[in-house]
């Protein structure tokens, strides 16, 4: 019984550590941020690429058919072929996910860069404050003056 209580107590301490909670918050925010980047690529960047290239590029439906099911006569779209059991190489989907990753890495790079700049500024201010000597209290100055007068 005491071993169970000890394990539960140890788990509670582990789960409530700041780093574990921070990690959980980071994962949740990262998931939401990933959705934002997916939307940015799908709804903003890819339509712009499509427009620049003349409106003929739809990366979500770019694939290479490796083998179609026997007797398949349906539409030759990625969704229909995969639903029918065809083997397709979905390079367009891979390209979209790769662009998502590059954008996500780029945004995170700039976020970390900004955080580091703020951190360096705060550390420099702390060092500047630490280097300044504290002003001598008035009573100490007065006692020093009295001492110096007594020496004379």
Q: Which domain holds residue 16?
A: 7-54
- Whether the predicted pLDDT of 56 surpasses 70: no
Residue 62 lies in a domain: no
Residue 82 lies in a domain: no
Q: Which residue has the tokens 């694939």?
A: 63
Residue 25 lies in a domain: yes
| pTM of the shown model | 0.55
Residue 142: DSSP 8-state = H
Instruction: Give 3-27 pLDDT, tens digit per residue.
Output: 777 888 888 777 777 677 788 888 8
Spatial CA neighbour of 100 closest among 37, 33, 30:
37
Residue 132 lies in a domain: no
Residue 148 lies in a domain: no
Query: In this structure, what CATH number is given to the domain that contains residue 23?
Result: 1.10.1200.120
Residue 34 lies in a domain: yes
Q: How many domains does the chain have?
A: 1
Instruction: Give 27-43 pLDDT, tens digit per residue.
Output: 898 888 888 888 887 78
Name the β-bridge partners of 65: 88
CA 124 to chain centre: 26
Q: How far is CA 95 from CA 8, 18, 29, 79, in A?
A: 46, 38, 24, 17
**Two tokens, residue 26:** 């980071």
Instruction: Give 134-145 pLDDT, tens digit per residue.
Output: 788 888 888 899
For residues 46 and 32, the answer to whether their CB atoms sit within 8 Å is no
Residue 96 lies in a domain: no
> Which pLDDT score, from 0 to 100, does residue 58 have?
66
């Amino acid at each position: 019984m005491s071993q169970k209580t000890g394990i539960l107590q140890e788990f509670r301490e582990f789960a409530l550590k700041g780093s574990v909670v921070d990690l959980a918050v980071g994962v949740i925010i990262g998931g939401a941020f990933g959705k934002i980047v997916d939307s940015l690529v799908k709804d903003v960047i890819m339509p712009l690429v499509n427009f620049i290239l003349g409106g003929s590029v739809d990366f979500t439906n770019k694939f290479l058919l490796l083998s179609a099911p026997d007797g398949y006569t349906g539409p030759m779209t990625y969704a229909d072929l995969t639903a029918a059991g065809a083997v397709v190489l979905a390079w367009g989907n891979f390209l979209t996910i790769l662009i998502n990753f590059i954008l996500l890495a780029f945004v995170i790079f700039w976020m970390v860069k900004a955080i580091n700049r703020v951190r360096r500024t705060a550390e420099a201010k702390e060092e500047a404050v630490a280097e300044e000597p504290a002003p001598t209290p008035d009573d100490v100055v007065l006692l020093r003056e009295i001492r110096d007068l007594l020496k004379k």
